[in-house]
């Protein structure tokens, strides 16, 4: 929330991104939440406000549960 406010994100988009309900009648009429291109521009401009550490990235591994289920059927 702080990152969004520091970067002057409009309150109706802020509520939309956070999953909060509309507060005013004006929020009901605002079409900003339907304007995907505009929301993407804002997201690209301000970023996420943090960086993920390298240790969180893992290599892609096969889903073993799927393989076991296929063996059980066979």
pLDDT computed for residue 37 by the predictor: 92
Q: Which of 46, 57, 58, 59 is nearest to 8 (CA)?
A: 46
Coil, helix or strand at residue 2? helix
Under the banding of pLDDT at 50, 70 and 90, the label for residue 64 is: low
For residues 65 and 9, the model is more confident at: 9
> What pLDDT, on a 0 to 100 scale, did the predictor assign at position 67?
56
Give the pLDDT confidence of 14-57 residue by residue, as tens digits.
888 887 777 877 777 777 778 889 889 988 888 877 776 776 66
Q: 13 near 39, Cβ under 8 Å?
A: yes
């Amino acid at each position: 929330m702080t990152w969004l406010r520091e970067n002057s994100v409009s309150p109706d988009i802020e509520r939309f991104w956070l999953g909060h309900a509309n507060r005013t009648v004006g929020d009901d009429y605002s079409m900003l939440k339907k304007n995907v291109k505009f929301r993407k521009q804002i997201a690209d401009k301000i970023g996420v406000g943090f960086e993920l550490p390298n240790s969180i990235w893992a290599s892609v591994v096969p889903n073993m549960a799927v393989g076991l289920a296929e063996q059980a059927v066979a």
